[in-house]
Amino acid sequence: MSDRSKTFALHGGVLALLFALQFVLPAYHHGNLARIMVLASFAVGYNVMFGYTGLLSLGHALFFAAGMYGMGLAVHYGGAGPVVALLAGLVAAIAVSLLVGLLALRTAGVGFMIVTLMFAQAGYLTVLYFTTYTRGDEGLVLQQAQRMLGSLDLSQPGPRYFAALGLFAVCMLAVLWMVRAPFGKVLIAIRENEERARMLGYDVFRYKLAAVVISGTICGLAGAAYGLLFGYVGATFASVQYSIFPLLWVLLGGAGTVLGPFIGALFMFYLIDLSSSVTSAYMLVAGVALVLLTLFAPQGLVGELRERVWRWLP
């Protein structure tokens, strides 16, 4: 098999497996997996910047929350249906990521990390400042009637799983296509050696800006979908915790791999889930697992797999 057909077989296989799992999983894991797929879409978006372009952002909660609040406010105050609300979330995420990209990309390295962190904190504080509209920490609860997509009730497990899978498939396949296309190769070139890419005639700033907007848009879409599928829009999702999560998921799963974000989100979710049923010190377990992975699998789970077995993994 050529690398191309192997790539399509593997990623198609994962999606087919996720599709089949909904019929066999018990209710608890069924619900978990739906949530993981939405969070994995968030991580897929993060990976575009961090894994493929080499831009380490500490402020992606801002994009997740921009999509979520764009959607939630449109539903709550505009009476919008799910489709229009998702679009509102997308527009919000695009606008915010464009603005953040234009300003933050004037810096690099540690400066970029700090500027993105500050923007995300400013976003979080903005949500709290406008408590009258956002309900702050308490958040907005979306009613079942507001989550009807035609006759599909997105608050029910079946349609919710299906929608989450659809979202994840779209995000993952879009990124898979992107990294195999010339555009994606330029992003990788910038990650590997920015000065060389510039001296081949590429406008590095524009490519990086495009990466920020694509990343922010996918993360915003994930945020909007999360709010819609789980019926809650709250300030927690704009907090620094949600900037760190995607970084951890991507690091664990493998930065710069198409499947890594999903594997990382899955792994971390169940690590915390399982350990918290055993001990109240579950964050300690998560911490130790992270340290061990960093020591023994610095490329992340899928990254190590690529390093040792499947060289062709995109």
Partner 1 sequence: MSLLSTRGLSKSFAGLQAVQGVDFDLPEGEVRALIGPNGAGKTTFVGLLCGRIAPTSGQVFFDVRDISHLPAHKRIGLGMAYTFQITSVFARLSLFENVALAARRRLHGTAEVEAAVMDALGKVGLTEDPERAAGDLSYGHQRLLEIAMGLVQAPRLLILDEPTQGLSDAEIAGFKGLIRELAASTTILLIEHNMSVVMEVADRVTVLNFGEVLAEGTPEEMHANADVQAAYLGTG
The least CB distance from residue 150 to partner 1, in Å, is 41
The least CB distance from residue 9 to partner 1, in Å, is 20
Of the pair 218, 251, the CB lying nearest partner 1 is at 251
Distance between alpha carbon 237 and the CA centroid of its chain, in Å? 12
DSSP 8-state code for residue 49: I
Residue closest to 265 by CA, chosen among 57, 55, 32, 89: 32
* Cα radius of gyration rounded to whole Å, the chain: 19
Of the pair 135, 198, the CB lying nearest partner 1 is at 198
* Cα gap 221→71, rounded to integer Å: 9
Residue with tokens 């930065």: 255
The least CB distance from residue 182 to partner 1, in Å, is 5
Whether the CB-CB separation of 254 and 263 falls below 8 Å is answered with: yes
Of the pair 185, 308, the CB lying nearest partner 1 is at 185
The least CB distance from residue 303 to partner 1, in Å, is 12
Candidate segments 119-127, 139-147, 185-193, 296-304, binder of partner 1 by CB under 8 A: 185-193
Quote the tokens at residue 4. Answer: 């191309």
Residue with tokens 């990521």: 97
Number of residues that bind partner 1 (CB under 8 A): 17
Which residues in the 190-219 window bind partner 1 by CB under 8 A? 192-193, 195-204
Of the pair 138, 192, the CB lying nearest partner 1 is at 192
Of the pair 278, 309, the CB lying nearest partner 1 is at 309
Of the pair 150, 182, the CB lying nearest partner 1 is at 182
Q: Is 188 one of the binding residues for partner 1 (CB under 8 A)?
A: yes
The least CB distance from residue 208 to partner 1, in Å, is 13
Amino acid at 119: F
Of the pair 9, 200, the CB lying nearest partner 1 is at 200
Whether the CB-CB separation of 268 and 288 falls below 8 Å is answered with: no
The least CB distance from residue 156 to partner 1, in Å, is 45
Contacting residues for 220 by C-beta, under 8 A, at least 6 apart: 45, 63, 64, 66, 67, 68, 70, 89, 90, 92, 93, 94, 96, 97
Whether the CB-CB separation of 241 and 60 falls below 8 Å is answered with: no
Of the pair 106, 185, the CB lying nearest partner 1 is at 185
Q: Is 270 one of the binding residues for partner 1 (CB under 8 A)?
A: no
Whether the CB-CB separation of 134 and 141 falls below 8 Å is answered with: no
The least CB distance from residue 101 to partner 1, in Å, is 18
The least CB distance from residue 180 to partner 1, in Å, is 11
Q: 149 by DSSP, 3-state: which?
A: strand
**x/- letters, 153..182, toward partner 1 (CB under 8 A):** -----------------------------x
What phi and psi values does residue 177 have, to the nearest 5 degrees? -65, -45
Interaction site with partner 1 (CB under 8 A): 182, 185-186, 188-189, 192-193, 195-204
